[in-house]
Amino acid sequence: MEDLPPPVPAATLVLMRAMPGGPPELLMMERPGHMAFAAGALVFPGGRVDAQDREAARRLGDGSEILAARIAAVRETIEETGIAPVPGVGAEQIEALRTGLFAGRDFADLLTQAGLSLDLAGLAPFARWCPNFRETRRFDATFFLAEAPDGAGEPSPQPGEVARTFWASAGDVLAELEAGRAHAIFPTRRNLERLARYGSFAEARADAERHEMRTITPWVEERDGRPWVCIPDDLGYPVTAELLDTARRR
What Rg do the C-alpha atoms of the chain give, in angstroms? Answer: 18
Q: Within a 10 A sphere around the Cβ of 249, how many other Cβ atoms?
A: 9
Query: What was the pLDDT predicted at 134?
Result: 60
| 123-146: average pLDDT | 88
Tally DSSP H helices, then E strands, for the chain.
Answer: 8, 11
Determine the Cα–Cα distance for residues 138 and 200; give it in Å rounded to an integer. Answer: 31
Q: Is the per-residue pLDDT at 238 higher than 90? A: yes
Q: What pLDDT does residue 140 have? A: 95
**Tens of pLDDT along 204-226?**
999 999 999 999 999 999 999 99
Alpha helices in the chain (DSSP H): 51-60, 65-81, 91-102, 107-114, 170-178, 186-195, 201-210, 244-249
- Residue 95 reports pLDDT greater than 50: yes
Biggest alpha carbon distance in the chain? 61
- Could you read off the pLDDT of 163-202 as tens digits, one per residue? 999 999 999 999 999 999 999 999 999 999 999 999 999 9
Mean pLDDT of 128-134: 84
What is the chain's mean pLDDT, rounded?
Answer: 92
Structural domains of the chain, with CATH? 8-210 (3.90.79.10)
**pLDDT of 1 strictly over 50:** no
